[in-house]
Structure 1
Amino acid sequence: MQTELAPQFIGTPDGTMVQSILSKCVHCGFCTATCPTYQLLGDELDGPRGRIYLIKQIAEGKQATEKTREHLDRCLTCRNCESTCPSGVDYGHLIDIGRKWAEEQTNPRPFMERMLRKALANGLTNKTLFDNAMRIGRIVRPLMPAAIKQKIPQGKNPGTRPAANLNKTKMLILEGCVQPGMLPNINNASFRVMSHLGVDVLAAPKAGCCGALKYHLNEQEAGLNDMRRNIDAWWPYIEGTAPECQGEKVQAILMNASGCGVTIKEYGHILKDDPIYAKKAQVISDLCKDLVEVLPQYLEKLQGLVGDRAKQEGVIFHPPCTLQHGQKIKGQLEGMLGKLGISINTCEDSHLCCGSAGTYSILQADLSKQLKEQKLNNLQQAVNEHQAQRIVSANVGCITHLQNETTPVEHWIELIDSLIEKNMGHVSTSK
């Protein structure tokens, strides 16, 4: 697709990138077949091909309108279209630039919408504020409407973390913005499992939000600052000079939230033009690994830890978009759990988004609700067909979004943790 950049974009990093990405698009339309919003709305402009044309028009100098912004807002950024595209169009980075341009060229959003977006960007990323709000929310949860209750999962007793400095091998972990307050057992289970495998998991106190939340809400400079702060917080661990490292450099930055993982793996790309952080950002991206990329190297030991109890488990796996389309990790978890003796299956539309998509479930509530209902129907059919006991996923957003009254939904690392605990004579209790 040939693009003649408008004068204001010629020679700029964004303009150059957009022109390069658009040049790969052949307008084939394969992407529309796997786009959740196109499937729901049937509007060309609510599919990847239509949105690409809208961004092309902006790049060539046509003024963006509120309607343009609306079509770009409706995109889930699930990146399923990237997995489908035969030409390798980098849609995820294209939509980020398109949204920024549309925001710059259109009138300010309505006051209440701006306030909501500000509250999400700054409230969800403030750990103290969010954790306290979640504690209060759990107390008054019985009095709340069902739609709000679903955003406050009761979760499990998070248990304890293993003692520090037990092992020579060190790895970092990002604990996340909402995960510690919303579903703390995910992080604690990750610490426990890795300790059983001979790895000390470290968390840098000064690290915070990965930057995705603000970045995708068009507060891109604030998102970049979150990324720079994390790089500064992690660098002593990468060099092995942090006291907790005991002279050992960390071997990986573990991710147990695939939404954070896909962003951190792209630090090198996002900060490539930053003269101070570009090289460090690429090192961070290279070190970033989802848990499912690390555990297979400990497979034999893991098999011994979970024992024969694993063969009693049947699960349905919901692969988050950020894992299968963003990080391009598909099939690895199914393979690993299968080797542990766990019967694992996916549902009919496992390639499609559940509708969570970060803040999408709040900002695009109607579309999100439709996608959630479709996904839960298909997941429950798979549960019934395969007589599974639970649904597992790999991202806190999906796990929270898919909570229901019929089948438990949890992180797959919690399943591994519970199997190890049962095999060692200790069973986790629920609240």
Structure 2
Amino acid sequence: MQTNLASWARGTNEGNDAEEILRRCVHCGFCLATCPTYQILGDELDSPRGRIYLIKQVLEGAEPTRATQQHLDRCLTCRNCETTCPSGVEYGALVDIGRKLVDERVERPLAQRLQRGALRTLLTSRLFGPALALGRLMRPMLPVLLRNKIPARRPAGAVPRHGGRHARQVLMPRGCVQPDMLPSIDAATLRVLDAVGIGARDVPAAGCCGAIQFHLDAQDRALDQMRANIDAWLPLLDSGQVEAIVINASGCGGMVREYAHHLRHDPNYAAKALRVVDKVRDVSEILAPHAQQLRARMASLPARVAFHPPCTLQHWQGLRSVSERLLTDLGFALQPFNESHLCCGSAGTYSVTQPSLSGSLRERKLQAIGETQPDCIVSSNIGCITHLQAGTETPVRHWIEVVDEALSAGDGGMRNAA
């Protein structure tokens, strides 16, 4: 694609990066077939190719409008389009640039500014836990949109007290909302890691991975969060006290794996970010070599299980096959379903900022999954889990929770009571 950048963009880091990506696009349109929003809306401006044109126009000097902003907002950033692009267009990186440039030039309506500001503040605040507890008490009186965001309580159970004795140690960041919304996921992860002789720890100085701020018009704040996490994690990695950063929420894992990309122009953190990214592992990658060891100790699993691979797992990190192979090796009877490559509509805070589109995508996803008549749906990202559960009576769990329960049953129920 030929480009003629405006003078204000020419020679800047953002302009140079965007131009390199734009020139790879050959207008083929393959991306339209794999774009969830285009599948629903049928508007090319709500497809990757259409959004690429909009971003190109802005970079060439056209004045963006609220309509431009809306079309970019509707993008789920699922990156399904990248997996089918024959030219290797890094659409996700381009839309990040486009959103930042448009948001700098187009003021959002007051309601949107308040909503996004509240999400940025609350979801990364210590007040989130108390707010969630209050929400659970008032759940029947809340609007449906908020009610659906409050999952039922799941007991976490006891966590291993002797994890520090293991020779193998990993970092396991706690994340923002998962410890309060579904503490059972982290607890299950700690127990399963312990079962294969791996201890896990967190660093209090670390915080949110940066995804929430980054995707809600605060990219600079997100970069500061990334730097703070690097400063907290890197000493333990460099000293060999831990062998990896293990993440059980694919949304967080996808963001942390991109620290080197986001900080590539930072002379003080570019090299540090590369060292961190090299040590990031999804929990499925850590457990894959231990599948037979775990399976030998596990009791029976649900008869029919549907695995929903989050976009951040399959398109961002390319780990769908790793997770599915692990689940199969552990004895899961996975039921394939149509359109498993399409986004479920969760996409971080997208289900709050774009509820109609998000709901349509969830309905489409659950219909496809429902045709397999599963006893349980498993996934690997808290956002997808809570989003899907709000639309179905079928249990939706993190697969690590199901593995943990099968291990506990196989050990006579003693592990979770320890």
TM, length-normalised to structure 2 = 0.96
* 2:294 aligned with 1:294: no
* 2:22 aligned with 1:22: yes
Deviation at 1:332, TM superposition (A): 1.8
Deviation at 1:147, TM superposition (A): 3.4
For residues 381 and 411 of structure 1, do their structure 2 counterparts lie closer, same or farther at Cα, with a shift above 3 Å needed?
same
Deviation at 1:427, TM superposition (A): 7.8
Which residue of the partner structure matches residue 164 of structure 2? 165
Q: Which one is further off, 93-102 or 313-322?
A: 313-322
Deviation at 1:273, TM superposition (A): 1.0
Q: Distance in 2 between matches of 1:281 and 1:321?
A: 23
Matches within 5 A, 1:21-420: 21-106=21-106, 108-126=107-125, 128-163=126-161, 164-240=163-239, 248-306=240-298, 309-310=300-301, 313-382=303-372, 384=373, 388-403=374-389, 404-420=391-407
Deviation at 1:145, TM superposition (A): 4.1
- 8 Å contact from structure 2 (residues 310, 379) kept in 1: yes
Q: Distance in 2 between matches of 1:302 and 1:261?
A: 23
Unaligned runs of 5+ in 2: none
- RMSD of the alignment, in Å? 1.5
Q: Which amino acid aligns with 1:129?
A: L
- 8 Å contact from structure 2 (residues 164, 200) kept in 1: no
- 8 Å contact from structure 2 (residues 366, 392) kept in 1: no
Moved over 3 A (4+): 142-147
Q: Which amino acid aligns with 2:289?
A: Q
Which residue of the partner structure matches residue 244 of structure 1? none
Deviation at 1:316, TM superposition (A): 0.3
Q: Distance in 1 between matches of 2:265 and 2:289?
A: 35
- 8 Å contact from structure 1 (residues 212, 260) kept in 2: yes
- 8 Å contact from structure 1 (residues 22, 89) kept in 2: yes
Q: Distance in 2 between matches of 1:239 and 1:313?
A: 44
Q: Distance in 2 between matches of 1:225 and 1:121?
A: 14
Deviation at 1:104, TM superposition (A): 1.2
Q: Distance in 1 between matches of 2:117 and 2:143?
A: 24
- 8 Å contact from structure 1 (residues 157, 428) kept in 2: no
Q: Distance in 1 between matches of 2:378 and 2:145?
A: 22
Q: Distance in 1 between matches of 2:405 and 2:5?
A: 55
Q: Distance in 2 between matches of 1:17 and 1:47?
A: 21
TM, length-normalised to structure 1 = 0.93
Deviation at 1:288, TM superposition (A): 0.7
Unaligned runs of 5+ in 1: 241-247
Task: List per-residue Cα deviations over 1:93-140 (Å, max 9, x = no partner).
Answer: 10000001111122x2111210110011111111x1111111111222
Q: Which one is further off, 418-427 or 115-124?
A: 418-427
